[in-house]
């Protein structure tokens, strides 16, 4: 089960910049995996399984998580979410995800696939707006009817995945696309409400700050850079971040750097000097002091200490 679940959040390391539907992210070098790993559907995912994946990781897949009961707390690109019963959560490629907590009674469906899995259907342009909706609002609270509809999709996908995925892969592909379109109808419905309500300027600036941090944190560690990008003062940036999430703006930049550092330490054999260079530090010593101050361990201690989680 663990090997299958790893295909949901494949690990790699920072290598290059890429554009995903108009948004620039620092992306991971893809790990090679088999054709069968391009798609997976899992049911009865619970705390016992989830707890092995508390380390931050960067998704290579599109993943849809449907909560049957319980709750799951996690962050996606530094935004924190709590998934509860009858909620659906979307994770798109290059999202940096960290699980924070999971209730004892949690139970989920997960459908996860690599975009290459359905590339032969030539639906990239039609699916792009769906992925964009999911990126804007990853978490939705469903009503009873919407939840039952999606449970039907997941249940049927689970059945055919286990019975006919090798003999009739096209059936799974089209059923997956049907799930995406059905899910998108719900996202569009709630998206209209979201746009109608609108967000205060401080909230909009806060989300733009998070987006900029995800793009630039490897090379830009200073608050003044982000304030300049937003055309506001450093003082105002600090105030709006505190108002939006009750966090220090600088701590959000540091958290993003640490998440990438942990990914590199967990998933590569690169030495501390190489990692410090990738993360924009002048030398390994400076990076080591920064890491220990944030995590409480040196990079080597973190890499050697199995089962540690922040």
Model confidence over 35-56: pLDDT tens digits? 455 888 888 888 888 876 788 8
Flag the least confident range among 34-38, 110-114, 119-123, 280-284: 34-38
**pLDDT score recorded for residue 245:** 82
Q: Which residues pair with 140 in a beta bridge?
A: 88
Task: Tell me the torsion sign for CA atoms 190, 192, 196, 199.
Answer: positive
Helix (H/G/I), strand (E/B), else coil: 65: strand
Which domains are present in the chain?
2-197 (2.60.120.280), 201-304 (1.10.10.60)
CA distance 111 to 107: 14
Length of the chain counted residue by residue: 310
Strands 96-102 and 57-58: antiparallel
Residue 288 has pLDDT above 50, yes or no: yes
CA distance 107 to 49: 10
Sheet holding 39-45, edge to edge: 39-45, 107-113, 62-69, 87-91, 139-141
**pLDDT tens digits along 216-265:** 888 899 999 999 999 999 999 999 998 888 889 999 999 889 988 988 89
pTM over 0.75: no
CA distance 189 to 170: 29
CA distance 284 to 95: 27
Residue 12 has pLDDT above 50, yes or no: no
């Amino acid at each position: 089960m663990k090997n299958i679940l790893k295909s949901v959040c494949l690990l790699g390391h920072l290598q290059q910049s890429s554009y995903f539907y108009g948004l620039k992210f620092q992306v991971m070098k893809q790990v090679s995996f088999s054709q069968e790993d391009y798609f997976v559907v899992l049911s009865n995912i619970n705390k016992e399984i989830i707890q092995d994946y508390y380390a931050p990781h960067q998704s290579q897949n599109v993943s849809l998580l449907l909560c049957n009961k319980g709750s799951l707390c996690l962050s996606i690109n530094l935004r924190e979410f709590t998934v509860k019963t009858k909620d659906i959560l979307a994770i798109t490629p290059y999202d940096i995800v960290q699980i924070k907590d999971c209730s004892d009674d949690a139970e989920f469906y997960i459908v996860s696939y690599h975009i290459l899995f359905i590339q032969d259907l030539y639906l990239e342009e039609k699916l792009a707006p769906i992925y964009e909706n999911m990126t804007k609002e990853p978490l939705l609270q469903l009503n009873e009817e919407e939840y039952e509809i999606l449970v039907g999709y997941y249940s049927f996908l689970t059945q055919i995945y286990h019975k006919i995925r090798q003999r009739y892969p096209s059936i799974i592909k089209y059923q997956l696309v049907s799930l995406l379109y059905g899910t998108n109808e719900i996202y569009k419905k709630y998206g209209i409400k979201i746009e109608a309500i609108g967000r205060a300027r401080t909230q909009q600036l806060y989300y733009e700050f998070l987006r900029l941090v995800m793009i630039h944190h490897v090379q830009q560690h200073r608050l003044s850079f982000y304030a300049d990008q937003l055309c506001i003062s450093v003082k105002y940036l600090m105030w709006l971040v505190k108002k939006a999430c009750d966090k220090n703006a600088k701590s959000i930049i540091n958290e993003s750097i640490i998440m990438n550092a942990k990914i590199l330490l967990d998933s590569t054999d690169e030495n501390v000097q190489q990692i410090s260079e990738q993360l924009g530090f002048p030398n390994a010593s400076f990076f080591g002091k920064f890491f220990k101050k944030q995590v409480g361990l040196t990079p080597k201690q973190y890499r050697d200490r199995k089962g540690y989680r922040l």
